[in-house]
Amino acid sequence: MLALAAGLSLFTACGSSDVSRELGAQCQAKRDCDERCLSGEDFPSGMCTLSCETDQDCPTLSRCIDAEGGVCLYRCQVPADCEFLGTGWNCLAQERREVAGEEVLVCIGG
């Protein structure tokens, strides 16, 4: 029975990824996401994300940026870190929501 459970866990684990309805999925409208859908030139193909006030409000691998009223975006160090989001995404400095004037590198269109 343990072998069966292990096999099931392995199977379900194969379905996970860093992109989810919470953060990162492509979207056209809010219904495509858990909370909100960002669209426009800054978010090519649309991107699901969460509203935030601090970094603690965001999933791992993301930061709270002072844009669109405070949203979580994937953090990065070089443009290659954003390639998984598709074409049109870059790694650019953006102002943090919780610390005015302080910037952090995140994935955003540009």
| Site for another protein, rule CB under 8 A | 1, 4-5, 7-8, 11-12, 14-17, 19-21, 24-27, 32-34, 45, 48, 84-86
Q: State whether residue 3 is helix, strand or coil.
A: helix
Toward another protein, which CB reaches closer, 10 or 100?
10
Output 5 or 100, the one with its CB closest to another protein. 5
Element at 12 (helix H, strand E): helix 2-13
**Nearer Cβ to another protein (34/95):** 34
Residue 39 identity: S
Is the Cβ–Cβ distance between 95 and 85 less than 8 Å? Answer: no
Whole-number minimum distance, CB 70 to another protein, in Å?
22
103 beta partners: 95
